[in-house]
Copies of this chain bind each other. A is one copy, B any other.
Amino acid sequence: MPDAALLDRLRIAVDEGFGRQTEFLQSLVRFPSLRGNEAPLQDWVAREFAGRGWAVDRFSLADVPLPAHAKASPMVDADPAASRQVVATRRGSDPAGRSLILQGHIDVVPEGPAEMWTHPPYAAVVRDGWLYGRGANDMKAGVSAMVFAMDAVASAGVALRGDVHVETVTEEESTGNGALATLLRGYRADAVLIPEPTGHAITRCHTGTLWFRLRVAGVPVHVAVAQDGSNAILSAMKLVEALAAHTARLNEAARSHEWFGAVRDPIKFNPGIIRGGDWASSTPAWCEVDCRIGLLPGDDVAEAMAAVERVVAEAARGDNFLANHPPTLNFHGFRAEGFVQEPGTEAEAVLAAAHASVHGEAMAERRSTAVNDTRFYGRDFGIPALCYGPKGEGNHGFDERTSLEDLRRCTLTIAGFIADWCG
């Protein structure tokens, strides 16, 4: 735990920097860093980091051997060479000192219908203690926290013995390839902290995620003779129903899961995008549904894929048309495993102490039904992985916002953690 005097110095530094931090977060939000369009923001971030005197490595997903890695996910709708990663390194005084990776993703999901938003989604409006915008909470607030926590540590005069890598990545919302790429690029540390908007709780475990694109054919005919054709939209609906029934069975089985047994329906199935047909008076010749389904820690991704294939094939066999024109499945994004960060790491103890110092109460834990990047560090590279960050609401929805006072407390907690872990 940082001593009280140090914490006071950090608190003063965080407070002094908080105006600049809010502006920094507004700048982040004003970049519509949707998938495929993250590079302008990454370039801006790289200049910010370089301006702090950190050594900046900027590279693309095409610069690392992703395709050969078993845990990489396919990128169907995005170009790896256009997806840029930023790793800034602040070297400590002692190569043997405890090192740290601070990592945040800067990709955001689409904002949806503009009319649902009270404030324009990329305006970064501040009102009544909230900062609004797509990505404001998930997770540009966390990115601002890790950067300004580093600034506070520096201006409080804390000497860091260990190295710190400050990383901003892409693809967290679709594949996780950004995080994996930093590891393939060679960055390692004794712990990683990812300040996702967890509401000041530590993420004990998270489910995995599988993406798939279901494509169904139809036989287009004039609707006057619809009985001679086959409607791809109606066929897709049947398959979606079969997948929903499959999900219900998975959730039934999940009741005995060690980590998710107590969470109601932890496996979420979501048909998220649909498109099909081109004329109201022609039976549609195709329908495509982009889906997401969860899996539990311990579930094998290949088995989850096989299960989806089985469910779709069985449903197709029960349909006259689909039996002869099987739907196709394209696993076009996430092939992410679930992950449990077992309790008991020293890194978590240091974070919990910093949290308790700032909040005056013990750090809670959460079990997340969405994936995050910690799985690569913790599961695949043996690095204790802490997912802990600010508080807000509206992630992936409308009127997404982050609480500025919570962000201030979170920044201080992270500063205390850095000072203690690397100091």
Contacts and interface: CB of A to CB of B under 8 A. Distances in A.
Interface of A: 109-110, 112-113, 116, 138, 173-174, 209, 211, 219-227, 229, 231, 233-234, 237, 240-241, 244, 264-265, 268, 270-287, 289-292, 333-334, 368-370, 395-398
A290 B223 CA distance: 13
Centre residue among A229, A237, A272, A281 by max chain B CB count within 10 A: A281
A56 to B, nearest CB: 30
Contacts of A138: 222
B397 A270 contact: no
Copies of this protein, total:
2
B229 A278 contact: no
Contacts of A241: 237
B397 A229 contact: yes
A112 B219 CA distance: 10
A280 B286 CA distance: 19
A50 B219 CA distance: 41
B271 A112 contact: no
Given A112-B285, A227-B265, A268-B224, A276 B276 contact: no
A210 to B, nearest CB: 10
Contacts of A173: 279, 281
A271 B219 contact: no
Contacts of A109: 278-279, 281-282
A338 B245 CA distance: 42
A135 to B, nearest CB: 13
A285 B113 contact: yes
Contacts of A268: 223-224, 226
Given A112-B220, A220-B397, A237-B240, A225 B369 contact: yes
7 contacts: A109-B279, A109-B282, A110-B282, A221-B397, A234-B244, A237-B237, A279-B396
B273 A284 contact: yes
Contact of A395 (B110, B209, B222, B270): B222
B224 A281 contact: no
A177 to B, nearest CB: 15
B286 A113 contact: yes
Nearest to A284: B272
Contacts of A272: 223, 233, 277-284
Given A110-B279, A112-B285, A285-B112, A368 B292 contact: no
A110 B280 CA distance: 10
A284 B283 CA distance: 24
B333 A280 contact: yes
Contact of A280 (B264, B273, B277, B278): B273
Nearest to A395: B222
Contacts of A396: 220-223, 279, 281-283
B273 A274 contact: no
A217 B384 CA distance: 42
Given A112-B220, A233-B289, 6 more contacts: A109-B278, A112-B282, A221-B396, A224-B369, A272-B277, A273-B284
